[in-house]
Structure 1
């Protein structure tokens, strides 16, 4: 009994210490923000009574780094998103082309960023930005200094009236709006494209598209240069394979590379070779415009998704070379089918059939896989879908 009481006392003491540390950190943030021009009224409205959330638990688990690239691409660049992208491009063609004229960035590329970041405005994220950034800034982690800077930027956005507190929601990491700008990026690069005098990446699609074009322009976009294109490697290729090391096309021609359809390489510009999944998977020559995509979100799979989606929005064929796996990824329509069939078998998938492979869906998949003798990795691929369809 005494041990139990001591353990409970220790838990309570640790909880009180954590709350005290969080309150102390908030006080320091208030002092810094006030010194940088944020009003006391804004700080009171944003921070008084604020408690931490679970944002820290998401550090290091971004899908760009934890998901096989064939799964990542299957979900982000599927026929459904391509159709939506073409429809949204047609709807906002004037705004997209205005951004292209102003910043020199391909309009379809900007629309593709919109599609990947928020599914064309459908998924902004519902987490309060101030709460998440305060949690990340005040909870010890290797990036707390970075998040403190983003929190300062977010408080300045509120103070300027660019965003209302009740609308300031987004991702666990602090990104918000149609194209998921971080607060510091918004302060530096957001533009007013619709002419109403406000920079609004939440409610104004033209502002979001223009701001994204400005970002890519500042990141080094070269007007008129392809972001990249799929290529075919010669048998037994063992040459350079760094996408960061850009070389003229003559360099790659001399090493036996061709377009994926066998046509010779031609044109100007310098390109690096991106082997997506080793020498037997899809290969691309990528330009500085791929690097601009990468600067938006520092993941190779993310940059590739933006590029391929932008090509498909313009009518391109997408990736031609098969992925080097016997169990490829599946698109969102089939992921929803997986969720529905699991639910029919009594598994808890955690809510609606939305094609999002969240924790509950992955747990349900793993339980089903164990039951039928598959490796219980919680992954939705072709083999899982086939097993469900055959009634196992």
Structure 2
């Protein structure tokens, strides 16, 4: 039976029952879907003006009949919680991300050798970016996170005024990726905002930097690890990565010193009393560096070199670039930070945080994954337990809370 026949029968039944058809169907959703479909039809000419063929457009939108409500919800959601500095780094630079990074360094060594030789970018930086962007590809296996890129970007272009211009530009770029044949429409997946593949490139960045490292004729950052890592290396190289140089140094500051903002040579920083936190000498006093104190003057301090700011071309965030650098160093076998963040509790190891989540779940406070990452769900569960246990409900994943849970 056709859809029209079904609707006619429903309408007839509604009339007999004295009901309106609008009571039988979700009218608001139907109107929204109709509006979205009109937008898709009208955007076809815009795509054609950008060189997208009708067959590519039809193939890309086959089965895309409605906007994605979850994409619009994520676009509207503005998180009120700003993670303290220790929380950001604890969730990204930890035992598991380091261990898996070292495993991946061994597994992909032949390709990392080639990529490093071609682009001059430190392999450990690439592995750290891979970890930060997709947890070494694990996020690509999560159907609740990965979405149809064409549908996501069309949804934003249609329904999110703030991101509409960005989304239209990215949608055209995504259609060009399909038209070139780098990936088929069933595998063109990404985040709700259109970031794609193991190393999470938006379509325009993909167009600018994508590399076919494995030589199969396709620039496939979704299923080819060599292509994904080479693409990340290409971005860094084209933005000025300095081969054989570090991203920066953890340092100690002299008591009471006042320092200028901006960049000056490491030798000048040293003459002002700045020393490396591990006690070693600076290897290159002529290199320029900029002082960063992400946790205030009493917390860890860093001298950031040119490569730190190149990493920021990947993600324009000091925290992101520092996390990449710190994780890369530990994957490479160097020790971690000498000075810890200004945290108001005793830190848990990664496995202890997993145990914390398991015990919170056991007592009915938590229903998320035991992934060792302390997000809003874990913090809310901790606060609920703390309140019931008569503790200050600060939500911190502390050894003190874990010990109390062990004693339950």
TM (norm. structure 1) is: 0.88
* Contact 1:74/1:331 (8 A) holds in 2: no
Query: Whole-Å Cα distance in 2 between the matches of residues 198 and 57 of structure 1?
Result: 34
* Structure 1 residue 77, shift from structure 2 partner: 1.1
Query: Whole-Å Cα distance in 2 between the matches of residues 213 and 277 of structure 1?
Result: 29
Deviations 1:310-340 (A, max 9, x none): 1111111011102112226545423321221
Of stretches 196-205 and 265-274 in structure 1, the one that deviates more from structure 2 is: 265-274
* Structure 1 residue 360, shift from structure 2 partner: 4.3
Query: Whole-Å Cα distance in 2 between the matches of residues 49 and 19 of structure 1?
Result: 7
Task: Indicate the residue corresponding to 2:96 in structure 1.
Answer: 80
* Contact 1:130/1:154 (8 A) holds in 2: yes
- C-alpha spacing 1:230/1:291, structure 2 compared with 1 (3 Å): same
Matches within 5 A, 1:342-353: 342-350=360-368, 352-353=369-370
Helix, strand or coil at the partner of 2:312: helix
Task: Indicate the residue corresponding to 1:170 in structure 2.
Answer: 190
Larger Rg: 2
Task: Indicate the residue corresponding to 1:211 in structure 2.
Answer: 231
Query: Whole-Å Cα distance in 2 between the matches of residues 69 and 208 of structure 1?
Result: 29
Which of 390, 393, 397 is the matching residue for 1:373?
Answer: 390
Query: Whole-Å Cα distance in 2 between the matches of residues 174 and 101 of structure 1?
Result: 30
Which of 230, 251, 260 is the matching residue for 2:250?
Answer: 230
1:338 equivalent in alignment to 2:352? no
* Contact 2:146/2:189 (8 A) holds in 1: yes
Helix, strand or coil at the partner of 1:66: coil
Query: Whole-Å Cα distance in 2 between the matches of residues 304 and 62 of structure 1?
Result: 24
Deviations 1:181-231 (A, max 9, x none): 111111111111111121111111111111110011112211122111100
Task: Indicate the residue corresponding to 2:317 in structure 1.
Answer: 299
* Structure 1 residue 285, shift from structure 2 partner: 0.6
1:276 equivalent in alignment to 2:294? yes
Query: Whole-Å Cα distance in 2 between the matches of residues 169 and 330 of structure 1?
Result: 35
* Contact 2:95/2:350 (8 A) holds in 1: no
Query: Whole-Å Cα distance in 1 between the matches of residues 311 and 209 of structure 2?
Result: 16
1:39 equivalent in alignment to 2:59? no
Query: Whole-Å Cα distance in 1 between the matches of residues 159 and 392 of structure 2?
Result: 36
Task: Indicate the residue corresponding to 2:9 in structure 1.
Answer: none
* Structure 1 residue 288, shift from structure 2 partner: 1.4
Of stretches 193-202 and 24-33 in structure 1, the one that deviates more from structure 2 is: 24-33
1:67 equivalent in alignment to 2:83? yes
- C-alpha spacing 1:28/1:287, structure 2 compared with 1 (3 Å): farther
Of stretches 260-269 and 155-164 in structure 1, the one that deviates more from structure 2 is: 260-269
Unaligned runs of 5+ in 1: 1-7
- C-alpha spacing 1:147/1:256, structure 2 compared with 1 (3 Å): same
* Contact 1:227/1:288 (8 A) holds in 2: yes
* Contact 2:242/2:307 (8 A) holds in 1: yes
Query: Whole-Å Cα distance in 2 between the matches of residues 255 and 34 of structure 1?
Result: 60
Query: Whole-Å Cα distance in 2 between the matches of residues 30 and 377 of structure 1?
Result: 52
TM (norm. structure 2) is: 0.84
1:26 equivalent in alignment to 2:40? yes
Helix, strand or coil at the partner of 1:355: coil
Count residues in correspondence: 377
1:259 equivalent in alignment to 2:255? no
* Structure 1 residue 381, shift from structure 2 partner: 4.1
- C-alpha spacing 1:209/1:256, structure 2 compared with 1 (3 Å): same
